[in-house]
Amino acid sequence: MTRARIRPTWAEIDLDAITHNIKAMHERLPKKTKIVAVVKANGYGHGSIQVAKKALDSGATSLAVALLEEALELREAGINAPILVMGWVPPEAAPIAAKHHITLTFFQKDWLDQVSRMEFDERLQLHLKLDTGMGRIGIRSSEALREILYALNDKPSIYLTGVYTHFATADGTNLTYFHKQKEQFERMLSELKEQWSGEVTVHIGNSASAIRLPGDMYDFVRYGISMYGLYPSQPVKEEQAINLKQAFSLHSRLAHVKQIEAGDAISYGLTYKAEKAEWIGTIPIGYGDGWIRKLQGFSVLVDGKRMPIVGRICMDQTMVRLDQEYPVGTKVTLLGSQNGSFINIDEAAAYVDTISYEIPCLLNERIPRIYKGG
Ligand SMILES: *Cc1c(COP(=O)(O)O)cnc(C)c1O
């Protein structure tokens, strides 16, 4: 049961922006390279089911998530497209993946041995992960590759359908390490092809590498952050190679408006004191929603103008200094556009010294997502 929305604080997800961002990527990619829509972590906080459906309607051919649970959620929503789980899944869960035609990532021989002793209703599809320098998960050496390919032989219930890697510095200013990783991948891929005769799809690119080197992406790109209209980093943004549309915006309404006098203080710890008579608005959002305390001093939009956040952000409420009196119920935009003004997620991320990815992920399920352009 979904409860009626009462508190006037909500996120709007512009699904047409997802379509725009997929089109913009398709225009850069060669025809043979397909798009995998990455919808892990509830679609980077945008809603995995809604984004997945829109992405598939807009030309993405498959989906990727981090957890098997996330893949099952998509299946339960009636999505039949291929899904790749990119994280490690406990071997005991492999039969669940096979049953729901969900592709798993593997890179450990012990894992393969354990899984190959299990019973499956359907063949289990696997993608092999190569660690070419990210240092997270994957096979790192030619010996390990040889061993795992050998172990894959005569396992009729298991089916190698893909091989991939992930870059550590594709979004940086200096691409030397990126190219080193790419060369290592090419070496390991040619070894694989010498030892394995089956057809495998190959994919290496996230948003940053796909935007920068679209011609080098093999069969698929794993399109995450930029599908949501956010740039992987400032250097990639400054290159202006692609025009993206931010899909996520965050809104609320003034719950209380008052005038305070010179010397009056606002919120815990009295970190803000008025220098003169000022109008103060209270917004019903706080760190309990993922609107973190570090955003103190950042701005929100009221009447299309920037108003500073004053005093400490509380668990459920945030105060702003207004330029004049506004009625209770006046719309406040915390991220996104209002009356021609815009607060970029990149800007909020930079203010709290993090990356754009983290901002919508932090804004939790206490904030309902409203979909536009579905
Ligand atoms: C999250 C993830 C991606 C998507 O990366 P973006 O930078 O968001 O495009 C691609 N590949 C892997 C393995 C990932 O974990």
Query: Mean pLDDT of residues grouped by 10 in the chain (374 residues)?
Result: 86 98 98 98 98 98 98 98 98 97 98 93 95 98 97 90 97 96 98 96 98 97 98 95 97 98 98 98 98 98 98 98 98 98 97 97 97 89
**One-character DSSP codes across 49-95:** HHHHHHHHHTT--EEEESSHHHHHHHHHTT--S-EEE-S---GGGHH
Find out whether 227 is annotated in a ligand binding site: no
Find out whether 25 is annotated in a ligand binding site: no
Atom of ligand 1 nearest to the CA of 357: 8
Does this model's pTM top 0.95? yes
Quick one: 45 and 163 in the same domain?
yes
CB 59 within 8 A of CB 240: no
Quick one: 53 and 200 in the same domain?
yes
| Single-letter amino acid code for the residue at 182 | K
Query: Of 61, 64, 86, 59, which is closest to residue 74 (Cα–Cα)?
Result: 64
Quick one: 141 and 266 in the same domain?
no
Residue 207 located in a structural domain: yes
| Single-letter amino acid code for the residue at 350 | A
Residue 273 located in a structural domain: yes
CATH number assigned to the domain comprising residue 140 = 3.20.20.10
Question: What is the rounded distance in angstroms from the CA atom of residue 192 to the CA atom of residue 108?
Answer: 16
Question: What is the rounded distance in angstroms from the CA atom of residue 36 to the CA atom of residue 311?
Answer: 43
Q: How far is CA 277 from the centre of its chain?
A: 43
Write the residue with the smallest CA distance to atom 3 of ligand 1. 206
Identify the domain containing residue 287 by its residue range: 248-343
Residue 105 located in a structural domain: yes
Atom of ligand 1 nearest to the CA of 44: 8
| Residue-level pLDDT at 2 | 66
Query: What is the CB neighbour count within 10 angstroms for residue 196?
Result: 17
Domain boundary among 204, 230, 256: 230
Write the residue with the smallest CA distance to atom 6 of ligand 1. 224
Residues 6+ apart with CB under 8 A from 312: 267, 268, 269, 271, 293, 296
| Residue-level pLDDT at 1 | 55
| Residue-level pLDDT at 328 | 98
Residues annotated as part of the active site: 40, 268
Residue 129 located in a structural domain: yes
CATH number assigned to the domain comprising residue 292 = 2.40.37.10
Domain boundary among 196, 230, 264: 230
Quick one: 210 and 105 in the same domain?
yes
Quick one: 154 and 291 in the same domain?
no
CA of 177 to the centre of ligand 1 (A): 18
Residue 47 located in a structural domain: yes
Helix (H) or strand (E) holding 16: helix 15-28
Count: domains in the chain: 2
Residue 109 located in a structural domain: yes
Residue 183 located in a structural domain: yes
Quick one: 216 and 254 in the same domain?
no
Query: Of 93, 147, 88, 86, which is closest to residue 115 (Cα–Cα)?
Result: 93
Quick one: 178 and 279 in the same domain?
no
Q: Can you tell me whether residue 366 is helix, strand or coil?
A: coil
Quick one: 103 and 40 in the same domain?
yes
Quick one: 93 and 38 in the same domain?
yes
Quick one: 223 and 272 in the same domain?
no
Quick one: 212 and 303 in the same domain?
no
Lining ligand 1 with CB less than 6 A are: 38, 40, 86, 166, 206-208, 222-225, 232
DSSP, res 309: B
CB 317 within 8 A of CB 284: yes
Atom of ligand 1 nearest to the CA of 166: 13
Quick one: 223 and 274 in the same domain?
no
Residue 206 located in a structural domain: yes
